[in-house]
Amino acid sequence: MSHGRHPICQMSGKIRYREPKDVKFALRQADRERSRARFDDVSCNRRETHGYICSDCDGWHLTSQSTRPTRLAPLADLAVHVPGPAAEAIRHMATATGLTAAAAA
């Protein structure tokens, strides 16, 4: 498959498709190539099964992952605040099971 008419995303290095219909066409092409390879009993390196929109280039890319890759939040953003009554219940359960309150909080 020639990729000459599709530019490359500067951030991901993947082919940038302009519209969802282009992704749909490319996924059908990949499926046909996989089917042909199975029929001919040869290997195929086409694994793409989904398309997703790229937040960096505002284009569409193909992926073999079942869901869109997500960016991890910094650890400071992952801190969860437990409301007072819930925190007290957790501390009580931790004390009853022998855990320290610091480990439960």
Question: Quick one: what percent of the chain has pLDDT higher than 90?
Answer: 50
Residue 1 pLDDT:
44
Residue 93 pLDDT:
80
Residue 4 pLDDT:
63
Residue 66: Cβ within 10 Å count: 7
Residue 100 pLDDT:
62
| CA 33/CA 28 separation, integer angstroms | 9
Give the least confident one: 26-35, 53-62, 75-84, 93-102. Answer: 75-84
| CA 56/CA 71 separation, integer angstroms | 12
